[in-house]
Amino acid sequence: MRRVERYLWGFFPPSGQDDPVDEVLHAVLDAPGKRLRPQLLLLVSRLGADHAAKRERLCKLAAIVECIHTASLIHDDIVDDSPLRRGRPTIQSRFGKDMAVYTGDLVLSRVMTELFADGLSQSGLVLGQTMQTMCRGELWQYAGRYRVDVTPDRYRKAIYGKTVALLAAACRVGGLESGCTAPVLEAVEDYGTHLGYLFQIRDDLLDFLSEQDREGKPVHVDFQEGILTLPVIYALAHPDHRQAIERLVGIAAERPLTAEEQALLVQAVRLSGGLEKAIYELDQHYACACAALKALPDGKIAAVLRKIVKMLRDSLPNKRPTAKMVAG
């Protein structure tokens, strides 16, 4: 991973002159992150016969995938008007929306240049298609805000673009470039896809399961912005709770929800069984991700990949809602 960091910083060397762009790029690279996507790419690549020979290429690709993720976060923060990301000011809040638009574009065009310069056209094609899917997912989600007719299928389509596609692509690219066989390639992409769904559903559940709101931190940001997540969508399908949630969606479109209204939202989602249904879906993705790993030839790598999804699943606080929680 140290090599990956070196590539990341190497993509954007400071010009040395009095260049305002240097400061913005430094802030972009310096942002803390789990680097999940590059780690996944490198892990998967160890399943291919050429992984040792192509080590530099793979580290560079891992950095490129992280850049695509970073650029998407920069642009997402413009749309969400987010002041903070992982505890630090976002590019848009620190340098303005306008700088953020072009900084995201700069990171993407740098990625494109690197891919062409190194003749990484197979991975370039995968990543170009993935970026399209990501944009379409975001557009799709944005256009559907505050719509109470949103279905679980629409939700899945949106999060496929928002989260799943790039995680699956990281696995695919790692497998492709290291020379994995077709069945292994299919298995790792399948794993990445289910990991992606698990990852996003977990994130959406956390909004209702965590205790963050009691510490005054902003929660239900998605709901406020009209983005209805899986627990809410399932709650909307419950005849006893549909009306309450529809009313709250209408309010969210007009003004910030009060603490009391937020509590009503949480109660409706909990009482409707929306949490259990979303957790059930998350568990299904966990099972599918583990099943996909059975096709892998290397038991050690499979075990590490299994650990990642297990950790994500188990880190859900109070994963099974208690009777007390359901009672509000």
Interaction mask 78-97, its own copies, x per CB under 8 A: xx----------------xx
Q: CA–CA separation, 31 vs 54, rounded Å?
A: 28
**Distance between CA atoms of 77 and 266, rounded to whole angstroms?**
25
Radius of gyration of the chain (CA): 21
When asked if residue 29 is in the footprint of its own copies (CB under 8 A), the reply is no
Binding positions for its own copies, 31-70, rule CB under 8 A = none
Contact 161, 140 (CB under 8 A): yes
Q: Applying CB under 8 A, which of residues 53, 129, 183, 221 lies at the interface with its own copies?
A: 129
Interface with its own copies, residue 19, by CB under 8 A: yes
Between residues 23 and 298, which has the closer beta carbon with respect to its own copies? 23
Select from 16, 32, 119, 299 the one that contacts its own copies (CB under 8 A): 119
> Do residues 4 and 63 make contact, with C-beta atoms less than 8 angstroms apart?
yes
CB 274 within 8 A of CB 235: yes
Which of 29, 33, 50, 140 lies at the binding interface for its own copies (CB under 8 A)?
140
Judged by CB under 8 A, which of 2, 16, 34, 143 binds its own copies?
Answer: 143
**How far is 70 from 74, CA to CA, in rounded Å?**
6
Euclidean distance between CA atoms 326 and 328, whole angstroms: 5
Q: Which residues contact 299 (CB under 8 A, 6 or more apart)?
A: none
Which residue's CB is nearer to its own copies, number 119 or number 239? 119
For residue 289, give the amino acid letter: A
The nearest distance, CB 18 to its own copies, in angstroms, is 10
Could you say whether residue 221 binds its own copies (CB under 8 A)?
no
Residues that bind its own copies (CB under 8 A): 19-21, 24, 75, 78-79, 96-99, 101-106, 108-110, 112-113, 115-117, 119, 121, 124-125, 127-129, 131-132, 134-136, 138-140, 142-144
